[in-house]
Amino acid sequence: MKERKGLSLKYVEILKKVNKPSRYAGGEYNSCDYKKKHKMHMVICFPEPYEIAMSNLGIKILYHMQNQNPDIVCERCFMPYADFSDELLKNNIPLFTIESKKSLNNSDILGFSIHHELCYTNILHMLKLAGIPFYAKDRGEAYPLIMAGGPAAANPEPLAAFFDLFIIGEGETPLKKFSEHYIKNRRKPKAEILKSAQHIEGIYIPSLYEVKYKENGRIKQRVALSDVLPVKKAYERDLDKTFYPVEMIVPVLEAAQDRAVAELYRGCSNGCRFCQAGFYTRPVRERSAENVTDICKGMLHSTGYEELSLSSLSTGDYSGLAGIYPFVKELEKKNVSVSLPSLRLSGSLKEYQYNVNQLTFAPEAGSERLRRVINKNVTQNDIDETLNTAFSEGCKNIKLYFMCGLPTETEEDIKAIEQLALFAKRTHSAAGRCRMNLSVSLAVFIPKPFTPFEYEDMDGKESVVNKINLIKSNLIKSGIRLSYHDYDSSFLEAVFARGDRRLSDVLIKAYESGCIFDGWSEFFKFEKWVDAFAASGIVPDFYVRGYSLNDVLPWHFIDSGIRKEYFAEERQKAYREETTDDCRKGCKGCGFKGCF
């Protein structure tokens, strides 16, 4: 597809007709200049709108990393809103990049960062707007190579038909190495480039495999169509030596999370049995306190932000908190707001009196019994001490995260969520504080891949709705804000998180019937998804039923670094209500060594 002449004039005209044109205008502070001389043109695509995309740390890391290479031009393209999409189609303008306004189809590589299963149809929409066929088999040499990565590509099989390759695990090193590989071999056919990229850790080429199924619908076997190498998850070995941009791009309009973000560590040592992020990002690797401090100083200086977030899966577990404590106190004196997301309900607040206005905790379950089942090693005493410390330090905003539908869950476990929230409110009143905003969020448990619960059933809709209603009215009467996930969207997320290659047809049918922005409640149309499954001859409940230990799971061809036997052992311990200590107290033999 050739560049449309007069694009700049048409572009200016359509910007006048859309809401918030700055979403598509570019020109942000710290954005990268277009290199006229380059050997590879890449576009990082995020299938969510600008405000969400520019809140994503991974996007910023990969964007700045790629642009450090003098041979690479890396630009961005995000999911457009309906008004902009309509103008593109009306004016016959293909979807283009933010920086140079170059159409996506004139790039060498499109890289989609996928962070939620409910944005899969947004990917199809972006491809359609770019004039690119959905199926990889239908794209000849004239089209870009299209890759994907990110948390929602941990099980890539439902999207396998659409992508030439996937990055499994962390993206920095695989993307860097594949880019070098592409530049070296860019004049060769796509198939040859892809097959010879197998040696790169974290690269998965779906076209090299065929999947066969049993009569009951389960996977019979994966057949390699040529010589293939094992697919291993990629991860960075030393975060202090891993690229991290301090001159981060600054959005031109307020993003969903508009602040400087410093990454403390990756992985998690707690071993919560429901948590895909905790297991999939293992091993645990920390940045040094010195590295974190340098990153913070650099970002605040280069961006002008007055708000800083210290990011990780469990910030209170970071062993360098004492090391960065003096620096944080300095920032507070300069009126820089510091947030500590994802705190455990033990230890971190009591030991280091960080003055933060808002704290987020995730007990996940209301009762100690159920917390033992899911290996959330938090006692009632931990909760008492942490909340008392938070309130005595003047914290006025507390968020509590829970789940419903967990394995072995009972009505008493659900009632315990209400009791814990009411306890927090009473504790605040006893501390003599005049006002507090307490909110409770309730998610639906999804048995995600690469966890000890990956074999489990998902709780049914009627059961989950009844559990939510059990506590809803009492919390609201007490002035506690309650938000909860919609069951139908959670169900759909589970189907695609646990699905296989047969779901590609469903995705296209759903998209063609009008399903986009499925992660947004105002756009979500579950009845259209029901019709798409029926038209494809697929029963979605099949994918949320429990697996047997003898089943071949769609994602089991990936070596995540954790022994499958370890997951089975943890699952049995869950049903015995036995906990497993934090890995920091001694290696538990999950498969990774030397995490700390």
For tokens 């995705």, name the residue: 507
Q: CA-to-CA distance for 384 and 26, rounded, in angstroms?
A: 48
Q: Is 162 exposed, middle or buried (0-12, 13-18, 19+ CB in 10 A)?
A: buried
Q: Indicate the pLDDT class of residue 6, thresholds 50, 70 and 90.
A: very low
pLDDT band at residue 136, thresholds of 50, 70 and 90?
very high
Helix (H) or strand (E) holding 209: strand 209-213
User: In percent, how much of the chain has pLDDT > 90?
Assistant: 77
Using a 10 angstrom Cβ sphere, with 0-12 exposed, 13-18 middle and 19 or more buried, the burial of residue 235 is buried
Cis status of the peptide bond prior to 283, with omega within 30 of 0: yes
Q: What is the mean pLDDT of residues 431-459?
A: 88
Tell me how far apart the alpha carbons of residues 343 and 338 are, in angstroms, rounded to a whole number.
13
Q: Across 74-83, 248-257, 470-479, which has the greatest mean pLDDT? A: 74-83
Contact 40, 71 (CB under 8 A): yes
* CA dist list (Å): 316 to 311, 331, 337: 10, 19, 18
Which of the pair, 182 or 480, is modelled with greater confidence? 182
Question: CA 344 → CA 150, 323, 383, 390, 418, distances in Å?
Answer: 25, 19, 9, 12, 19
Q: Would you state the pLDDT for residue 254?
A: 87
pLDDT, residue 2, reads 38
Whole-number CA gyration radius for the chain: 24
Please state whether beta strands 558-559 and 307-311 pair in parallel, antiparallel, or not at all (unpaired).
unpaired
How would DSSP label each residue in 486-519? -HHHHHHHHHHHS--GGGHHHHHHHHHTT---TT
Please write the tens of the pLDDT for every residue from 364-387. Answer: 999 999 999 999 988 888 888 887
- Residue range 37-65, pLDDT digits in tens: 999 999 999 999 999 999 999 999 999 99
CB 270 within 8 A of CB 316: no
Residue 28 has pLDDT above 80, yes or no: yes
Residues 6+ apart with CB under 8 A from 15: 21, 24, 25
Query: Where residue 3 falls among pLDDT bands split at 50, 70, 90?
Result: very low
Mean pLDDT of 509-517: 97
How wide is the angle at C-alpha 390 spanned by C-alphas 387 and 396, nearest 5°? 105
**Amino acid 358: pLDDT:** 67
pLDDT at 361: 83
Q: What is the C-alpha separation between 397 and 360, in angstroms, rounded? A: 8
Mean pLDDT for the stretch of residues 467-479? 90
For 473, counting Cβ atoms within 10 Å of its Cβ (0-12 exposed, 13-18 middle, 19+ buried), the class is exposed
* Domains delineated in the chain: 7-232 (3.40.50.280)
Q: Are 321 and 275 in contact (CB under 8 A)?
A: no
What is the tens place of the pLDDT at every residue in 515-559? 999 999 999 999 999 999 999 999 999 999 999 888 999 999 999
Q: Contact 332/340 with Cβ under 8 angstroms? A: no
Among residues 300, 67, 203, the alpha carbon closest in space to that of 558 is found at 203
Cβ atoms of residues 436 and 428 within 8 Å? yes
CA distance 317 to 212: 44
pLDDT at 414: 96
Mean pLDDT of the chain, nearest integer: 91
| Per-residue confidence (pLDDT) for residue 390, from 0 to 100 | 75
Question: What is the three-class DSSP state of 368?
Answer: helix
Residues 6+ apart with CB under 8 A from 13: 91
- At 29, list the tokens: 């502070």
pLDDT beyond 90 at 35: no
Number of Cβ within 10 Å of residue 411's Cβ equals: 10
C-alpha span between 349 and 140 (Å, rounded): 57
**82, 139, 81, 85: which is closest to 107 by C-alpha?**
139
pLDDT tens, position by position, 262-295:
999 999 999 999 999 999 999 999 999 999 999 9
